[in-house]
């Protein structure tokens, strides 16, 4: 029997503020997991620090709540150690694009099969409303003593430049559509990004529900022939102009949906298998470490390159 989204809920009290966009994201994730029928025992959710970091306590699976900015490297270790697990790394814009941005970039270079979900509300909620990396310059949300002096970063372009092979953007209050984006991201073989725009009703008094809903539209609704898949050099030549244009669009209109899918690149797991033939069958987490407590190797044979024979 297929699982229901309720099978992914825990009994913990969800501590977010009323109206928080995180509720929609959590709900979309629960439903995506149910529709993909992922075994909670085989599911890994790694979260960083911030409001979204609490998500790991609200999802039934193998979850770990780590350090600020470090969800992606933790997820990297888990996925490499056991590539059979479905691994999701979640964090806010501050976590993923501020303190953890080096990992956000580097995972793209590996194309490891991980889904990165960025809860993007453009503020640091849990520390009471400081400017996040996606807040435009000169905007002053209500907790700021003065305007924001930093320009906003474009997570989609950063992901593209870093080598992500699936890039999508959703909106937290559109649970159904966001669920579909998350499903596609999880199913994609390679590093995928789902940036989810998320009003923070407590601290972001500019980018509100109304603000977003006046601007957002779906790429595939505007253009029924929208096809983000890039599978060849020709596709790249023909489509990248439009994809970049859409990724750059931000202002009166904000596009949502899947922007870019690249199926031509090998995953990190495949690369590892090429250099370690036993990797797929015996990855680091599922490999014997001894023979009944005795070492597996004889250093005098394995390290013969260091032995001087008379």
Partner 1 sequence: MHGVSNSNIDLKFLIGGPQGGGIESAGQIALKTFVLKGYQVIGTREYQSNIMGAHSYFTIRVKPERPGAINFPVDAATVLDAESVLTHFTDVKKDGFMVYDSSTIKTKIKTIAPMPKPLKERLIKFFEERGMEPTAESAVKVAEENGVKTIGLPMRDLIRKVASETSAPLSRVSKTLNTIGLATTLYLLGVEPNWIEKAIATHFAAKKKVVDMNILAARIAIEYVDEHYGGPCCFLPEGPHLGKETMLATGNEIVAMGKVVGGLTMQTYYPITPASDEALFLEGHRNFELAPWAEEVLRLKKLGAVVLQTEDELSAIMSALGAAVAGARTSTSTSGPGFALMNEAISLAIMAEIPVVITVWQRGGPSTGLPTREGQQDLLHTLFSGHGDNPKIVIASGDHIEAYYDAIKALNWAEKYQTPVIHLVDKYLASTITSLHREDIDPLKATVERGKFVENPGKDYLRYKITEDGISPRAPMGKVPLTWTGLEHTEDGMPTEDPIVRDQMIAKRRRKFETIAREIPDSEKVVLHGDPDAKITLVSWGSTKPIILEAMKLLEKEGIKVNFLQLRLFYPFPVKPVLDVLTNAELVIDIEQNDLAQAAFLIRGYTGFTIEHFVKKLTGRALWDTEVAHAVKRIVETGEKEVVVSGGA
Contact residues for partner 1, defined by CB under 8 A = 12, 40-44, 46, 56-57, 60-67, 69-70, 73-82, 84-85, 102-103, 105-106, 272, 275-279, 282-303, 306-310
**Are the CB atoms for 92 and 68 separated by under 8 Å?**
no
Residue number with CB closer to partner 1 (176 or 294): 294
Neighbour-count burial for 168-192, b at 16+ CB within 10 Å, e otherwise? bbbbbbbbebbbbbbbbbbebebbb
User: Smallest distance, Å, CB 90 to partner 1?
Assistant: 14
Residue number with CB closer to partner 1 (2 or 289): 289
Minimal CA–CA distance to 2: which of 36, 49, 44? 36
**Are the CB atoms for 190 and 165 separated by under 8 Å?**
yes
Residue number with CB closer to partner 1 (43 or 122): 43
User: Smallest distance, Å, CB 55 to partner 1?
Assistant: 12
User: Smallest distance, Å, CB 288 to partner 1?
Assistant: 6
User: Smallest distance, Å, CB 66 to partner 1?
Assistant: 6
Residue number with CB closer to partner 1 (13 or 210): 13
User: Smallest distance, Å, CB 269 to partner 1?
Assistant: 11
Residue number with CB closer to partner 1 (41 or 225): 41
Residue 97's SS3 state is: helix
**71-81 and 101-110 helices cross at what angle (nearest 10)?**
30
Integer Cα distance of 200 and 120 in angstroms: 9
């Amino acid at each position: 029997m297929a699982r229901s989204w309720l099978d992914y809920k825990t009994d913990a009290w969800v501590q977010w503020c009323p109206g928080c966009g995180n509720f929609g994201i959590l709900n979309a994730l629960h439903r995506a997991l149910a529709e993909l029928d992922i075994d909670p025992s085989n599911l890994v959710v790694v979260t960083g620090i911030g409001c979204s970091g609490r998500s790991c306590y609200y999802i039934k699976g193998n979850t770990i709540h780590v350090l600020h900015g470090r969800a992606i490297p933790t997820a990297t270790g888990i996925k490499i150690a056991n590539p059979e697990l479905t691994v999701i790394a979640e964090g806010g814009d501050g976590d993923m694009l501020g303190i953890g941005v080096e990992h956000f970039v580097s995972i793209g270079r590996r194309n490891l099969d991980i889904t990165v979900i960025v809860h993007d509300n453009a503020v640091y909620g849990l520390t009471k409303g400081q400017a996040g990396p996606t807040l435009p310059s000169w905007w002053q949300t209500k907790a700021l003593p003065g305007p924001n002096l930093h320009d906003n970063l474009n997570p989609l372009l950063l992901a593209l430049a870093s080598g992500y092979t699936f890039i999508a953007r959703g909106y937290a209050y559109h649970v159904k559509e966001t669920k579909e984006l998350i499903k596609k991201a999880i199913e994609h073989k390679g590093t995928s990004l789902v940036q989810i725009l998320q009003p923070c009703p407590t601290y972001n008094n500019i980018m509100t529900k109304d603000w977003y809903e006046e601007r957002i539209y779906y790429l595939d609704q505007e253009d029924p022939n929208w096809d983000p898949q890039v599978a060849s050099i020709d596709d790249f030549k023909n489509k990248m102009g439009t994809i970049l244009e859409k990724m750059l669009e931000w202002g009166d209109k904000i596009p949502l949906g899947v922007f870019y899918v690249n199926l031509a690149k090998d995953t990190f797991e495949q690369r590892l298998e090429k250099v370690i033939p036993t990797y797929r069958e015996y990855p680091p987490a599922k490999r014997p470490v001894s023979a009944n407590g005795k070492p597996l190797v004889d250093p005098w044979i394995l390290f013969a390159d260091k032995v001087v024979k008379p």
